[in-house]
Amino acid sequence: MNTVEKNIFILFILAIPFTSAFAISGTINLPIISGIALFIFCLLSIVQTKKISLNFFCYETKIIILFLFFVLLSYAINGIPYSFSLNHTLAYFSSFIFFLLTPLFFFLNNKTPQQLFRLTLKWIFISVLTSSVFSLVEFTLTNFCGITVSDLIPRVSVKEYDPFIVGFLIRSRGFAEESGHYGFMIEIFAPLCAYYLYKSGFFIKGIFYKNISMLCIVLSILTSFSVASFLLIPACIIISLTLGYKPTIEFIRNHHKKILVTIILLLFVWQIINLFIPLTEIVQITIEEKFDSFSFEDRAFRSNFFWQTFPKLPLINILFGVGPSGFRILGHDDSFSFLSLYQTITFEIGIVGLMCFGSFLLSLFIKLMTIKHNIKFFLIISFLCGIIHYNSISNYWYPWFWFLCCFILFYYYSFKNVVSEN
C-alpha cells in the first residue's frame, strides 16, 4: 500500500464521525467529500492497473446495484416533476456509491489485506476515541461550565441543540446531528474498538491505556443518553453470545477470573461516577421519558401513517414505491416522514426495493456467520445493532453501517478461514 492511498483511506475513516460538524451544506459534509476523494482514487487505480478484484463482483455488489436501479425506476415513475425527489434520488446514489461500493472496492482491490486490516482497526479506534473525548468535553462544558460547545462548532443544520434530559442536563451529540445518531455510530464501532484494544494484539500499550480508552467510549454513550444504545448494546451482546454459545462457554470457562474482575471494576467505576452524577436514576428516567413522551407519540403517528397509506396504494406503487421523498410527492410535510429505514425504503422504492435490501442484509449475515475467528463475536454485535437501530432511524446517508458492511465483506474474502487462537 503506497503512501497516497493509505493517507486517503485514513482521511476517509477520520471523516466518518463528522456527519454534521463542519458540513458545507445539508448534503455536502466531510464524509461525502472524503468519499468522493476515495472514489476518484479508485477510478484512477482502475485506469492505471486495468484490474478489478473478482471478489468486488460479489452478490452484495450486484444486489446493491439492482437496488439503485429500482431507486432510479421509482424516481422515473413518480418523482421526475419534483426537485426534492431528485435530491433524495441523488442521496441514495451518493450514499451507496461513496460509502459502500467505493470503500468495498478499496478493501477488496488491496494487495496487502493484513496490513489494511490492522490499519483500519487502528484508525477506526482513533476516530471513535476522538469523537468520544469530544463528546465528554462537550457534555462537561455545556452542563457544568456554561460553555455552549455547539456555538463553537460550525454546523449547517440543527445549530441550536439543547435536548434536556431529566430537566437539567443537555445530551452530548459529538460531531453528529443528534444525540441518538451519535449513539448509533458508537454502537457500530465500539465493538470493533473493543476487539482492537483487547483481542487483536495490535494495541501494544498497557492495560491502563486500554481501559481508559474504552471507558471514554462507554461514558460517551452514557452522555448521549440514547435509549436505543442503552437497550440495543446489551441485547446484541446477549444475542451474539447465544449465536456462538459453544465458544462462549469455553471462553467463560478459560477466563472466568478476568471476567469477574472486569465486572467488579465496572460496577465500582459506575458507583464512583454515581457519587457525582446519579447515572442509575438518569438512565431509568431517560428510558421512562422516551416511552412516555411526545417522541414516542410522534413515532407511533408516522408508523400508523405508513400502515394506513401503503397497503391502499395502486399495485405499481406497492411494487416500485411512491418515489424518493414519497411522502412529499403525496403532498405531506416533514412530519409525515418515516423514522424507520425499512418503512422508508418500502414506501419510496416499493416491495422490490425492500426485497433487494433485505437480501443484501441476509447474504451479509450468512457470510458473517461463517467466519471462524473471534472477531466474529464483535462483528455480530455491530451488525445487529445496525440493522435493529435502523428500525428507529431512516438516515441511510450516514456512512457508519455501510462501512461496517464493507469491513465484514473484506474480512470474509480475505481471512474467513482464519481460526481464532484464543
Asked if the structure places residue 389 within a domain, the reply is: yes
Q: Which residue shows C-alpha cell 428507529?
A: 392
- The pLDDT averaged over each successive group of 10 residues in the chain (422 residues) is 87 96 88 96 90 92 97 94 93 96 95 94 97 93 81 73 64 88 94 94 89 92 82 88 68 64 65 57 55 65 89 94 92 86 95 95 94 91 94 92 97 80 52
DSSP conformational letter for 293: S
Domain, as residue range, for 326: 3-415
Q: Looking at the domain assignment, is residue 381 inside a domain?
A: yes
Domain assignment present for 422: no
204 located within any domain: yes
Would you say residue 194 lies in a domain? yes
Strand partners of residue 341 = none
What is the count of structural domains for the chain? 1
Q: List strand residue ranges (DSSP E) for 276-328, in order.
A: none
Whole-angstrom distance, CA of residue 331 vs CA of residue 69: 25
**Residue 410 within any structural domain of the chain:** yes
Contacts of residue 216, defined as CB under 8 A and 6 or more positions apart, other chains included, come to: 129, 132, 133, 136
Distance between CA atoms of 336 and 293, rounded to whole angstroms? 18
Express each pLDDT in 233-261 by its tens digit: 888 988 888 886 566 566 666 666 666 67
Does residue 76 fall inside a structural domain? yes
Q: What CA–CA distance (Å, rounded) separates 184 from 187?
A: 5
pTM of this structure: 0.89
| 177 domain-assigned | yes
Task: Select from 113, 9, 61 the least CA-distant residue to 402.
Answer: 61
